[in-house]
Amino acid sequence: MAAVLESLLREEVSVAAAVRWIARSAQSSEVTAPTRPQAWPESAFRDDPGEAAALSSLRPLRKEFVPFLLNFLREQSSRVLPQGPPTPAKAPGSSAALPGRPGGPPRGGRGARSQLFPPTEPSSTAAAEAPSARRGGRRRGPGPGRERGGRGSGGLEEGVSGESSPWAGGRRPRGSGSPGSPSLARSDPPNLSNLEEFPPVGSVPPGPAGTKPSRRINPTPVSEERSLSKPKTCFTSPPINCVPSSQSSVPDTSPWGHGLPPGCRSLQEEREMLRKERSKQLQQSPTPACPTSESGSPLPSRTGNLTAEPADPARVSSRQRLELIALIYSSCIAENLVPNLFLELFFVLQLLTARRMVATKESDLEPIPGALDSLESPLFQSVHDCVFFAVQVLEHQFQVLSYLDKGTLKLLAENERLLCFSPALQGRLRAAYEGSVAKVSLAMPPSAQAVSFQPETDNRANFSSDRAFHTFKKQRDVFFEVLREWEDRHEEPGWDFEKGLGSRIRAMMGQLSAACSHSHFVRLFQKQLLQMCQSPSGTGGTVLGEAPDVLSMLGADKLGRLRRLQERLVAPQSSGGPCPPPTFPGCQGFFRDFILSASSFQFNQHLMDSLSLKIRELNSLALPQPEPSDEDGESDVDWQGERRQFAMVLLSLRLLAKFLGFVAFLPYRGPEPPPTRELQDSILALRSQVPPALDVRALLQQGLRARRAVLTVPWLVEFLSLADHIVPLLDYYRSIFTLLLHLHRSLVLSKESEGEMCFLNKLLLLAVLGWLFQIPTVPEDLFFLEEGQLDTFEVDTVTSEQGLDGMPVVDQHLLYTCCPYIGELRKLLASWVSGSSGRSGGFVRKITPTTTTGLGAQPPRTTQGLQAQLAQAFFHNQPPSLRRTVEFVAERIGSNCVKHIKATLVADLVRQAESLLQEQLVTQGQEGGDPAQLLEILCSQLCPHGAQALTRGREFCQKKSPGAVRALLPEETPAAVLSSAENIAVGLATEKACAWLSANITALIRREVKAAVSRTLRAQGPEPAARGERRGCSRACEHHAPLPSHLISEIKDVLALAVGPRDPEEGVSPEHLEQLLGQLGQTLRCRQFLCPPAEQHLAKCSVELASLLVADQIPVLGPPVQHRLERGQARRLLHMLLSLWKDDFQVPVPLQLLLSPRNLGLLADTRPREWDLLLFLLRELVEKGLMGRTEIEACLGSLHDAQWPKDFSEELATLFNPLLAEPHMPEPQLRACELVQTNRGTVLAQS
Amino acid sequence: MILTKAQYDEIAQCLVSVPPTRQSLRKLKQRFPSQSQATLLSIFSQEYQKHIKRTHAKHHTSEAIESYYQRYLNGVGRNGAAPVLLDLANEVDYAPSLMARIILERFLQEHEETPPSKSVINSMLRDPSQIPDGVLANQVYQCIVNDCCYGPLVDCIKHAIGHEHEVLLRDLLLEKSLSFLDEDQLRAKGYDKTPDFILQVPVAVEGHIIHWIESKASFGDECSHHAYLHDQFWSYWNSSLGRHSCRILTSSPSATRDRSTNN
């Protein structure tokens, strides 16, 4: 393996070729080409025969390359990261894998590696830092709740036995091994010897020994060696580990310090006592301590080691080599050739934040001549190298980083080393941070919820007998009692579940005789499990915007701060590194311990049945699939709902599957894998006959086929994580692991094509699978399988239509909820910022959570919080319908309240805006200024009034809610219950309404005012005058007038008749005409049915009719035959028209049409020409003020353009000149008649 | 009053290629004395419109226009007072108003430098006095007042009928104390296409549930039902105004009414 790496370093083989070579070992098909990183030129993919030859000789070693690389990097980095939290790497020493038995635990795993590191190895420390040793050690922690021993102790550790690593198990002081917290980091005591964090009282700078006895023990370094060695070394973290002869570090010594009166003893005495005490402690500790420091490396100084050494890009040694290895390492990550993506990222971030290089011997730092490019010289010779390498890798992994939560991105973007080494990457990260909306709180969901009773299970009908029913009720009570007691006491030190509750639980289980009682109880158990461990707030309410009840009671401005504080207080410092073993945090622990204490076969069987059923049900739940193409705001809101539902289902499934796995594999669980091969074979033979509790393989296959892996795989992983050591060896489960491995490798993140899984979906699967591959019970070599076994996968995925996989169902919040260990990245970075990573793996919390236990379980004791709790309690004791009613009423009243405010307050404001606007327009004239500016002025005046909305809204809810509740609840509801329900309804409704109003009232007012302004301005436009003056019909009007349409139609008929052509017998009677005009008058006076266009046409038609009358063109149907209208009748009709025009028409009447060429032409055509009616009409028009003389003059003026018979023009002139000249003529028609009479002869003569 | 399909068919049968004139309508009235003039006119108008839709194109070929114009010029050349244009329209079986428009357009093309805009032509048709040629003005006016199916006057009558029926419908609803939202209120709520009235409380009429009412104030034959369904009613459906509707297609409140429910 080393040969491969070396040939890479010597550039005999290109990186691209190497990655392809490795990947080919993983996948027999040529899939690397489309997925290669873009940075690689095309040519890199062409096989160089030389390269091929170089690599083909190494063929059998192919699949061992990645584990080798990972181990190599870990080993190389060990000098830099001694104090860091464990970076487990589950990469087996591959040469030890037994070919015939792929699942067999490798033994002597480090053999091969140690060959690679001959005695010339610069530091045996480095070699000893076998990651597997770290891993094994980490897991060795015993605990009552974890009967799973680290398998590593039985397997890998043998290969490195004798070597001890700084953080190998046992060298750290253990906590009592509390069930939920197996992590070492958490149980570490504060490092009191850290002078920077705990400076001596009086803040005497660390100086010569024995300055002054102090309450804090100041272990002054007196070592002679220290002055010689560089003060770089920093084996600081586990103080107890590094107990040198002369330089004692003092853990947990504060009580001692207290106990000693200052000055009464010498420092030497103190030290002596401490040493004794410490050795006592060491004897008690479960694993032997390792008092000898590694290979005699100089002991680190305790002081001054916390400031990080500045990293300088200019001081990077062997840049090219680092670049090459970073590239190949990144490529392996990108191709999913590493088991756990996030573990690698964690490792890289550790390198990035490495504080200081552990100096070994001076000579080690000297480059070995001629060996610079080989593996002989250490890869990371300085912090600069580490940071350079880390930044290189991060650059390649930017895409993944950009999907991390906002907090992590911020920390990364603000990392000064990153900025220094790659400003470009920093810029991209900053951009990603600014664009990110993925705020993820690392706070754990509140653990225990109030105990709820399940009235549904009270139903007697479900029980075989009264007795069974009563027994069940009693059991239920016991169950809740036990639960309550656990809630109250489980955090008390010294309280033990089994001791406290075991006998009661077993007694209760003993009473469950009938099978049906068991199923009832299991249902209760399961329901309670889901309710408590998978509360809505657990699925991310706080982040998605639905504030949890308590927090929402506080003001919005304080909310954010409170939330941050809460997060800091309750966020676990570390959930056990980037790869914690499966645990049962919070109230899950109760259910696990209950199952263990009950130790009832029937119960377990029923529970498995019930869990399996529920899992099947939820797994096949048809999750709604909205159009993914829709991207407007509304569907986005829908998506939130879909996501939330998906998250709910997924988290429920994971919880159920975890417990199913726990119960199903419970009988087989043992601390260690079987010691001998023979024993293992016989167990395998036995176990392979047992059918699985739930056919998870079928479900997985279904899920893959239906493209629902994003739902199925996470719970399956939970299930498998609780399997025992034998399970992965069974054929059935082995095939599942094979499928999962295939899936893992196929989830290449850079692949983004149609039908691919969404990025975050992939990331979730990679995270959970990566975690699964690191579980102790999963064999290390499983991941690096033989290539032959990996070829049956592709078939399944490329089927079927759009499934859940292709939809963005996973968001960062769900990712972090399912995989809290990803948050370790952020914590690691945060610890770098906080500047002190001296102890406990670099995670330091500034806030000492002295009250965490209280805070976690109980909400803040504010009045509001208490009120909310009271309300919850109240509902628990009432029928569910009461709660539904109250919530319904609150919801409706809240909504009505908003509507009411809109209709009253906002409408009033809009009216005010309109009148203000009118004023503005009057003062400023028609222009009124810029509408946008106007709007601004109005809004600034009116929006402050929006504040009234809250008071009014409160009043409204106060007034309306009680009545509604009262009406909806049964008459018989007791008064106290009723009034409580009313009060709660008022409170909820007010909360809802005020929340909406306070958020939206300004925008609402603004919108409405804007609409009003544009309406007013538009109305201002064309016809402001005509609007107001229209009259309606009189009050007495009964709207019996003829319809306008009818009248238009009638008049049109008359006009048509007059214009012709007509039959000889056709004509109108004068009576009909009179009646028509009478009807026109009625219609014009009624106006009920009149619309302006109709009136305009009526006006025009009436003028046309007058023209025809004047020209005597209307054929009158008389008794004998068709004849002309009599003069008198004509005048009467004209009079009627005149009065209509004057009094009844409300639209302008186009009287000028009377003098249009066409209508006058009618007159011209008649023989003899009769002018008197026209003159009469014009005179009347002038007299009635309907037309001015000038107007008539203008009309006549335009007539000159028309082509008339010459005499006609003359006649016109003679006729009209006097009319226009003389203002008043007493007897006009006479003279007109005379004129007409005289002229008639000439006209006739001319025609 | 409900008109049977048979009666309707009979009326429609009589209207095949009848010119849309006063005389035709008078004959129709004599033939069907039990039907109101409004009903008959509405049916006439619709049948004639269907006819025009079918034959419209052939009157608008450039050859046809040219030949009509020449015939018009010849006709008025012989006698400007004779109903040349009206006769021409009746002869070629085209609506007089539409014929007037064709000739006017052609006339203006000849006499003006720029082709006339649609609004100029519409304005001249509304007020023929604006037509520069007196003879043509008279001819156009004659066509318009004699056309009972097309032209600005007929359009105005139709519009007036529509308005009147909305008012009538509103009165009826008020009289029956049915709560409703009218078009303006609906528009204020942001609907783009709205029926005339939405009933706030649905009613059942003759076994059909009515959610909204749209008065089209015209005779509801199958064709217009179909067209309205396509243009308007589906969008009411789509905007979830209710599946049940009442479309009143009638020519007068006392006359033919066709009520249908779509769902």
Query: How many Å lie between the alpha carbon of A478 and the closest alpha carbon of chain B?
Result: 54
A1037 touches chain B (CB under 8 A): no
ipTM over 0.90: no
Task: Please classify residue A1008 by burial: count the beta carbons closer than 10 Å to its beta carbon, then call 0-12 exposed, 13-18 middle and 19+ buried.
Answer: middle
A896 touches chain B (CB under 8 A): no
Q: Do B128 and A1158 touch (CB under 8 A)?
A: yes
**Closest alpha carbon within chain B to A1051:** B145
Residues A1088, A1041 contacting (CB under 8 angstroms):
yes
Describe chain B by its helix, strand, coil percentages, rounded to 5. Answer: 60, 10, 30
Q: DSSP letter string over A707-757? A: T-HHHHHHHHHHHHHT--TTGGGSHHHHHHHHHHHHHHHH--TT---TTPP
Residues of chain B positioned with their CB less than 8 A from the CB of A1083: none
A1053 touches chain B (CB under 8 A): yes
Q: Please give the angle made by the CA atoms of A225, A229 and A230, to the nearest 5 degrees.
A: 145
> If you search the block for the tokens 């079987």, which residue do you land on?
A674
Q: Do A1091 and B128 touch (CB under 8 A)?
A: no
A682 touches chain B (CB under 8 A): no
Residues A1076, A1054 contacting (CB under 8 angstroms):
yes
**Closest alpha carbon within chain A to B84:** A1061
Nearest to B153 among A1046, A1097, A1156 (CB): A1097
Q: Do B128 and A1157 touch (CB under 8 A)?
A: no
SS (H, E, C) A245-290: CCCCCCCCCHHHHHHCCCCCCCHHHHHHHHHHHHHHHHHHCCCCCC
Residues B170, B182 contacting (CB under 8 angstroms):
yes
Strand residues in B111-196 grouped as ranges (E): 180-182
- In the DSSP assignment, the letter for residue B231 is I
- For residues A98 and A685, give the distance between their C-alpha atoms in angstroms, rounded to a whole number: 20
Question: What's residue A684's pLDDT?
Answer: 86
List all residues 6 or more positions away from A193 whose beta carbon is below 8 Å from its beta carbon. Answer: A217, A219, A239, A249, A250, A251, A302
**Closest alpha carbon within chain B to A1096:** B156
Largest pairwise CA distance in chain A = 156
Alpha helix segments (H runs only) across A465-514: 466-489, 497, 503-511
Q: Do A1158 and B134 touch (CB under 8 A)?
A: yes
Nearest to A1058 by CA among A1128, A1132, A1118, A1112: A1112
A907 touches chain B (CB under 8 A): no
Residues of chain A positioned with their CB less than 8 A from the CB of B160: 1043-1045, 1048, 1089, 1091, 1093-1094, 1097
Phi, then psi, of A1171 in degrees rounded to 5: -95, -15
Nearest to A1059 among B131, B141, B161 (CB): B141
Residues of chain B positioned with their CB less than 8 A from the CB of A1159: 129
| B13 band by pLDDT with thresholds 50, 70 and 90 | confident
Helix (H, G, I), strand (E, B) or coil at A228: helix
Nearest to A1143 by CA among A1048, A1197, A1077, A1190: A1077
A1045 touches chain B (CB under 8 A): yes
Q: Do A1053 and B22 touch (CB under 8 A)?
A: yes
Nearest to A1045 among B127, B160, B171 (CB): B160
Helix (H, G, I), strand (E, B) or coil at B204: strand
Q: Do A1045 and B161 touch (CB under 8 A)?
A: yes
Identity of the amino acid at A1075: Q
Q: Do A1094 and B163 touch (CB under 8 A)?
A: yes
- For residues A774 and A341, give the distance between their C-alpha atoms in angstroms, rounded to a whole number: 11
pTM score, whole prediction = 0.47
Q: Which residues of A517-548 are buried (b: 16+ CB within 10 A; e: fewer)?
A: bbbbbbbbbbbbbebbbbbbbbbbbbbbeebb
Helix (H, G, I), strand (E, B) or coil at A1054: helix
- In the DSSP assignment, the letter for residue A201 is T
* Residue A394 token pair: 């991060």
Question: What's residue A1121's pLDDT?
Answer: 53
* Residue A152 token pair: 């590593």
Query: How many Å lie between the alpha carbon of A1104 and the closest alpha carbon of chain B?
Result: 11
Count of H-run helices and E-run strands, chain A = 55, 2
Question: What's residue A82's pLDDT?
Answer: 53
Helix (H, G, I), strand (E, B) or coil at A1202: coil
Nearest to A1055 among B138, B145, B163 (CB): B145
- For residues A626 and A322, give the distance between their C-alpha atoms in angstroms, rounded to a whole number: 47
Residues of chain B positioned with their CB less than 8 A from the CB of A1043: 160-161, 164
Residues A812, A404 contacting (CB under 8 angstroms):
yes
- Point out which residues pair with A522 in neighbouring strands: none
Query: How many Å lie between the alpha carbon of B91 and the closest alpha carbon of chain A?
Result: 15
Q: Do A1089 and B161 touch (CB under 8 A)?
A: no
Beta strand B245-250 with B208-215: parallel, antiparallel or unpaired?
Answer: parallel
Q: Do A1094 and B129 touch (CB under 8 A)?
A: no
Query: How many Å lie between the alpha carbon of B126 and the closest alpha carbon of chain A?
Result: 9
- For residues A842 and A353, give the distance between their C-alpha atoms in angstroms, rounded to a whole number: 10
Q: Do A1089 and B167 touch (CB under 8 A)?
A: yes
Give me the residues of chain A with pLDDT under 50, please: 26-47, 83-265, 284-306, 360-373, 443-455, 536-558, 570-575, 626-637, 787-788, 791-800, 836-860, 1022-1029, 1224-1247
Q: DSSP letter string over A5-25? A: HHHHHTTSS-HHHHHHHHHHH
The residue count for chain B = 263
Residues of chain B positioned with their CB less than 8 A from the CB of A1045: 157-158, 160-161, 164
Question: What's residue A357's pLDDT?
Answer: 61
* Residue A595 token pair: 């199952």
Euclidean distance between the first and final Cα of chain B, in Å?
24
Residues of chain B positioned with their CB less than 8 A from the CB of A1165: 81
Question: What's residue A460's pLDDT?
Answer: 62
Nearest to B108 by CA among B134, B133, B139: B133
Q: Average the pLDDT over B33-43 and give the result.
A: 83
Nearest to A438 by CA among A759, A712, A214, A118: A759
List all residues 6 or more positions away from A224 whose beta carbon is below 8 Å from its beta carbon. Answer: none
Alpha helix segments (H runs only) across A1043-1171: 1044-1059, 1070-1086, 1092-1110, 1127-1139, 1157-1165
Residues of chain B positioned with their CB less than 8 A from the CB of A1100: 127
Chain B residues near any Cβ of chain A (below 8 Å): 22-23, 38, 41, 81, 83, 86, 127-129, 131, 134, 137-138, 141-142, 145-146, 152-153, 156-161, 163-164, 167-168, 171
Residues A194, A303 contacting (CB under 8 angstroms):
no
Residues A714, A764 contacting (CB under 8 angstroms):
yes
What radius of gyration, in Å, describes the C-alpha atoms of chain A? 47
Residues A267, A246 contacting (CB under 8 angstroms):
no
* Residue A978 token pair: 């009723």
Q: Do A1094 and B127 touch (CB under 8 A)?
A: no
Continuous segment of H or E residues that includes residue B199? strand B197-205
Q: Do A1089 and B164 touch (CB under 8 A)?
A: yes
Q: Chain A to chain B, count of Cβ pairs less than 8 Å apart?
A: 79
List all residues 6 or more positions away from A841 whose beta carbon is below 8 Å from its beta carbon. Answer: A83, A84, A85, A86, A184, A185, A188, A237, A574, A577
The residue count for chain A = 1247
Phi, then psi, of A184 in degrees rounded to 5: -70, -40
CA torsion sign for A664, A668, A671, A672 is: negative
Query: How many Å lie between the alpha carbon of A1148 and the closest alpha carbon of chain B?
Result: 15
Nearest to B137 by CA among B147, B156, B124, B149: B124
Nearest to A1069 by CA among A1009, A1028, A1115: A1115
Give percent of chain B above pLDDT 70. Answer: 78
* Residue A1228 token pair: 């006009």
Residues A339, A91 contacting (CB under 8 angstroms):
yes
CA torsion sign for B229, B231, B234, B236 is: negative
Continuous segment of H or E residues that includes residue A646? helix A633-664
CA torsion sign for A289, A293, A299, A305 is: negative
What radius of gyration, in Å, describes the C-alpha atoms of chain B? 21
Beta strand A1116-1117 with B197-205: parallel, antiparallel or unpaired?
Answer: unpaired
Identity of the amino acid at B218: S
- Point out which residues pair with A146 in neighbouring strands: A143
* Residue A820 token pair: 């809290």
Nearest to A1098 by CA among A1146, A1158, A1037: A1146
